[in-house]
Amino acid sequence: MTITQEQATWFAQTFSQLADNVERAVLGKRHVVELVLTAMLSDGHVLLEDVPGTGKTSLARAMGQSVQGTNTRIQFTPDLLPGDITGISVYDQKQGVFEFHAGPVFANIVLADEINRASPKTQSALLEVMEEGRVTIDGVTRPVGEPFLVLATQNPVEQAGTYRLPEAQLDRFMMRTSLGYPDHAATVRILDGAAIDTAELTPIVTPQVLAGMADLAAEVYVDALVLDYIARLVDATRAADEVRLGVSIRGALALTRAVRTRAASQGRTYATPDDVKALAVAVLSHRLILQAEAEFDGVTQEAVIGQVLLDVAPPRRREAV
């Protein structure tokens, strides 16, 4: 079953309303807002990596406020334990049974603030829930929220007392992006008080509507030539001289899902190579492991993906249903 044009038009309008609402609190960052929304509607998670004070936490809170669901915030610290995230079973002496107390991960949108400050053991507690949307404790599997989005933040300039995210966990994030500093015009508006507090945002959609949008996005048509283009891009990352480990199959699948969602957000029933180009850096770059020599020479993962996009020719003809 393929999404209809009427459904695609409604999807694009609702997507735009969500982005407009979030942008009321995070001024001048429309592109990043749309990337995060795309990940949310593609059953993915986002890693926001940026310097302090650029609005990472505000963006995550604004996303949570725009959805009429549950949202929680976990402040990662070195002493945080896995049970502090997933929840624990506590023995009830009156009833004589163990009672499960759900952790903050049981929500629609989870803000994992400064995730790299927690120990690897605690970071790994997120792996199952990010991949499968469920938590297993004491042999009992419990689903979390639907939809479910983890928005994790980390400050790359503050490395003292932090633990680098392992590649296996980075691969669980659909996208990695950064807000960066606002431009001059947006800065003036922020200083003038134009950005509203995230608590004042009104919800735009319910979790049920968001889940329905995700189902519609999954029905967007992707031509075989576009799939071939994605596969060639992924193959090119593995063959690049600067790369020790290229993009995984999980990365290729994530890009395909995100491409479908972006096409629907543009009001189209089909995906194009331009959708792939628009998302490739955010979806693929953090999955690369560079050669030590390349890192020493200042080569970045984003630069490698940018070069791959230049080297790999997109399909010549436009795809249509």
What pLDDT, in 10s, does the model give residues 255-276?
A: 999 999 999 999 999 999 999 9
Question: With bands split at pLDDT 50, 70 and 90, how would you rate the model's confidence at 317?
Answer: low
- Considering the domain architecture, whether residues 43 and 189 belong to the same structural domain is answered as yes
- Considering the domain architecture, whether residues 189 and 289 belong to the same structural domain is answered as no
- Considering the domain architecture, whether residues 16 and 118 belong to the same structural domain is answered as yes
- Considering the domain architecture, whether residues 17 and 151 belong to the same structural domain is answered as yes
- Considering the domain architecture, whether residues 115 and 263 belong to the same structural domain is answered as no
The answer to the question of residue 205 being in a domain is: no
> Hey, is 153 helix, strand or coil?
strand
Q: What is the pLDDT of residue 249?
A: 92
Does the structure show a pLDDT above 50 at 320? no
Report the CATH number that the domain containing residue 166 is assigned in CATH: 3.40.50.300
- Considering the domain architecture, whether residues 186 and 43 belong to the same structural domain is answered as yes
Beta carbons of 195 and 244 less than 8 angstroms apart: no
- Considering the domain architecture, whether residues 50 and 122 belong to the same structural domain is answered as yes
Listed ranges 99-103, 168-172, 251-255, 286-290; the one with the highest mean pLDDT? 251-255
- What domain range is 168 assigned to? 1-193
Q: Residue with structure tokens 């406020």?
A: 65
Does the structure show a pLDDT above 90 at 280? yes
Contacts of 98 (CB under 8 A, 6+ apart): 89, 90, 91, 92, 138
Q: Which of 273, 277, 281, 234 is nearest to 253 (CA)?
A: 234
The answer to the question of residue 321 being in a domain is: no
The answer to the question of residue 203 being in a domain is: no
- Considering the domain architecture, whether residues 185 and 233 belong to the same structural domain is answered as no
Question: With bands split at pLDDT 50, 70 and 90, how would you rate the model's confidence at 318?
Answer: low
**Beta strand 46-49 pairing with 175-177:** parallel
The answer to the question of residue 125 being in a domain is: yes
CA 165 and chain centroid, separation = 15
Segment 229-256, tens digit of pLDDT = 999 999 999 998 888 888 989 999 999 9
- Considering the domain architecture, whether residues 185 and 287 belong to the same structural domain is answered as no
DSSP track, 166-215: PHHHHTT-SEEE------HHHHHHHHTT-SPPGGGPPP-B-HHHHHHHHH
What is the DSSP code (8-state) at residue 317?
S
- Considering the domain architecture, whether residues 189 and 296 belong to the same structural domain is answered as no
- Considering the domain architecture, whether residues 172 and 259 belong to the same structural domain is answered as no
Does the structure show a pLDDT above 80 at 291? yes
Number of domains, the chain: 2
Structure-block tokens of residue 147 = 């939809």
The answer to the question of residue 36 being in a domain is: yes
Tell me what the mean pLDDT of segment 13-36 comes to.
90
Q: What is the pLDDT of residue 159?
A: 58
Segment 124-168, tens digit of pLDDT = 778 778 888 888 887 788 888 777 888 888 876 555 566 777 777
Structure-block tokens of residue 267 = 């009001």
Whole-model pTM? 0.87
DSSP track, 41-85: TTT--EEEE--TTSSHHHHHHHHHHHBTS-EEEEE--TT--HHHH
Looking at every residue in the chain, the average pLDDT score rounds to 86
- Considering the domain architecture, whether residues 168 and 68 belong to the same structural domain is answered as yes
Overall residue count recorded for the chain in this entry: 321
